[in-house]
Amino acid sequence: MVRDKKVVDEVSGWLRIYDDGSVDRTWTGPPEVKFMAEPVTPHDKFIDGVATRDVVADPNAGLRVRIYLPEKTPDEENTKLPIILHFHGGGFCISEANWFMYYTVYTRLAREAPAIIVSVYLRRAPEHRIPAAADDGHSALLWLSSQAKSRSEPWLAGADFNRVFLIGDSSGANLVHEVAARAGKEDLSPLRLAGAIPVHPGFVRPERSQSELEQPESPFLTLEMVDKFLGFALPVGSTKEHPMTCPMGPAAPLLECLKLPPVLLCIAEKDLIRDTEMEYYEAMKKANKDIELHLSPGMGHSFYLNKIAVDMDPDTAAQTGGFISRVIEFIKTH
């Protein structure tokens, strides 16, 4: 007789953990939003000016990346394009590089920048706790460094390895800081890390901030998600003051001692965790780091990934356009 599995923990709509240790990430929330969490099949043909391809970067570790390649006009044939290395969000527990919500934003960024985007399929908690995702992000950067020498991946033939940027959404933005800090201790030449773009990073403290207590919850971030995802993702016995969730805290390396590239920190005014994101910004400035700030007024956490809001709400559409334009400006000037 087969025993029914029992749910021992869950995050509403997103994830269920069973008593046998298995994890189910099937979306069980409102069906009308399920399409945003559906995988997009890669396509070698250019669709709306962008082609996509999945590549195994490290067969031994099983590390995969998705490449977004923008179509060049005849005038651009000899132009080398910057590389944007992307780390997806999801509280270290959910999401995949091939989800539709990322596809819509990062095909647009690839096309409008223009740039080659390399998005990493990250290992997820609770099966793979921190620092697994950071190790994957770092390995992807090392793979790009090896590609700068070997030029063996044809889809990177037109890449400018002297202009490599990191970008990440939510928990992926935590990885941007961590991978940039690791890169500062290494010689990646001929690759040059030209900039880092953490977007709405999941930086927190053990105690609730004012914004966590006062700001409205959004579809992409609730207090339950903050607490439960980090509970599943942090090393057993760690608190939110772990260096990867609180890089400005007492457990983290001193920011003054880190060798970091220029940073563009993107924050949403109504983000639940805005206060701790701003604490990171102030700490980086105090440490004399090269950091710029882009604020999206009236917006919540990861608003630009909400395709329904971007299509239906003029304010969200305008702020998404402004955010993407600011990222492109940062890339063009670094």
Question: Which residues carry out catalysis?
Answer: 170, 271, 301
Backbone angles phi, psi at 159, to 5 degrees: -90, 145
In what order do the strands lie in the sheet containing 291-296? 50-58, 63-70, 116-120, 81-87, 159-169, 193-199, 263-268, 291-296
Alpha-carbon span 93 to 232, nearest angstrom:
7
Q: Which residues contact 255 (CB under 8 A, 6 or more apart)?
A: 247, 248, 283, 284, 286, 287, 289
The type of residue at 214 is E
Quick check: helix, strand or coil at residue 197?
Answer: strand
Backbone angles phi, psi at 138, to 5 degrees: -65, -40
Q: What is the CA radius of gyration of the chain?
A: 19
In what order do the strands lie in the sheet containing 23-24? 7-11, 15-18, 23-24
Burial of 84 (0-12, 13-18, 19+ CB in 10 A): buried
Choose among 133, 130, 132: nearest CA to 120.
133
